Amino acid sequence: MVKKKTCVFISGKGSNLKNLINCSRDKNFPIKISLVICNNKNAYGISYVKKYQIPYVFIDTNQKNYENKILYNLMKYKISFICLAGYMKIISKKIVNTYKKKIINVHPSLLPKFKGLNTFTRILENKEKKTGCTVHYVNNKLDDGEIIVKKIFFLEKNDNEKTLKKKTQILEYRAFPEAIIKVFRNC
């Protein structure tokens, strides 16, 4: 199996990145993480990249023309697939159009509900009975692309933002690899 050269975009702790690295070490998993792009110099996720000796690039997304730097590095490392794993920046049209149907994102809600930020707060305020995570293709609208995989759990009376985050992350660790396998099975 020829693995697809993949770039993972992160901004923080990198727990989904760590999970994808572990999955990608399986010879039957369809991707090889060949690059990580991060927009936060202090992101803990960089420690995983260093541990596994994966090339990474810090890109200051507040700089003008930062998309060109991203595209340059994607081309340099011959990236054919992108995973957004806790990347807290909207992907530009330029990048989305260059990698059409080649970028996926994991979102901590059952899309189309609760797009964007502050998801857990809004779930609790809305008194939802169930929630979960969604892996979807990225398009030019926020959290709006075609859904690949959803994972669901039911809320309990004592759930709060912290417990929702923990339960959701556990589902994300299953959903993200499952979505990647599904994407490449359907190619």
Active site residue ranges: 107
List, edge to edge, every strand of the sheet that includes 81-84: 56-58, 31-38, 4-10, 81-84, 103-107, 130-137, 147-154
91 residue type, one letter: I
Distance (Å) of CA 9 to CA 17, 39, 56, 82, 157: 9, 8, 10, 7, 34
Our separate counts of H helices and E strands in the chain read: 6, 7
If 0-12 CB within 10 Å is exposed, 13-18 middle and 19+ buried, where does residue 167 land?
buried
Q: Which residues pair with 164 in a beta bridge?
A: none
Helix (H) or strand (E) holding 163: helix 161-185
DSSP string, 166-182: HHHHHHHHHHHHHHHHH
